[in-house]
A and B are shown apart, each in its own frame.
Chain A
Amino acid sequence: MKNSKLKKWSKRLLLTFGMVFLTLFVWANWEESTITEKLPTINLVTFDLSSLKDENSFALIQEEFNSKKGVTACAVNSKSKLVTFTFYPDVTSKEELLDDLQSLGGKSVCMKIFPSKAGCPVQGTKDFFGKIKESLKFR
């Protein structure tokens, strides 16, 4: 008796989850991805170059990394003493970029961590549903 009740509830729960998943899946794939959504994803990383004293090092870094495979953009700012890379995460990584930078500018080059809660409040609540939609999108 108890077993059949449990079975019944499990079935209901499974059906509910199934329905929710199906609804989310249909919602996520309702529209075809736009030309922009189809672009390969990039990651971003910034390194602190304040330990570099030689101005030529900045130019060298700019030159070396602009042609590095997987790097889509490299911006060296000699005033801020920062370098920012945008890159394809499936081709290169933050760690690889750090290694390459340290071999050029010494071990004191380090990653700059930005606070996650500061700055432009563009997205807000869209983040949660946006992430679900993105992970279920196949079109």
Chain B
Amino acid sequence: MNMTKQITVGLFLALLTFTSCKKDEPVEEPTVVTPTPTPSLYTRLGGINAITAVTDKFIANVVADNVINARFAATASDEYRLKFFRGNLIDQICAGSGGPCQYKGKTMLESHTGMNITDAEFSALVGDLVAALDFYSVPTQEKNELLAILGPMSTDIVGH
């Protein structure tokens, strides 16, 4: 083997060793960007304290509203019933918006059968809820999402 050949083989072997060493170095992985999940409606509304504040305002609105307050007469006059009713409302909003609550009350159909609630009364109730949400400046998106959860209940509440 002449000198040139020896140098070429030597360089080739050196290159091989070099590249094989390079293989051990960490390979840069392409970064995968995972989209941050949107917080639940419960979180966006402000959690249990915000829901409680809206619920209290809603109850006050309803009891001051002559169109429907006769339906809530017993609730307004009895502390225990008020506590029960308020708890059920908070649980319903909290659970419906993805919070850590469980609604343990009767179904809407069960609790409203025999009451013959009219569309006008239901509209007044929704109006009182919207007024409570507006009072606390709940953003339009969250307000609409909440109303979309509660809205379908009207079929179980009205006309039974």
Seen from chain A, the residues whose Cβ lies within 8 Å of a Cβ on chain B are 34-37, 39, 41-44, 46, 72-77, 79-80, 82-86, 113-123, 126-127, 130-131, 134
Contacts and interface: CB of A to CB of B under 8 A. Distances in A.
B53 to A, nearest CB: 7
Contacts of A76: 64
What does DSSP make chain B's interface, helix, strand, loop or mixed?
helix
Give the one of A44, A115, A130, A131 with max B CB within 10 A: A44
Interface of B: 48, 52-53, 56-57, 59-61, 63-66, 69-88, 90-91, 94, 100-102, 105-106, 111, 114-115
B73 A114 contact: yes
Contacts of A121: 74, 111, 114-115
Contact of A120 (B53, B75, B79, B101): B75
A35 B56 CA distance: 16
A72 B53 CA distance: 7
Nearest to A37: B87
B76 A44 contact: yes
B80 A36 contact: no
Contacts of B64: 46, 75-77, 80, 82-84
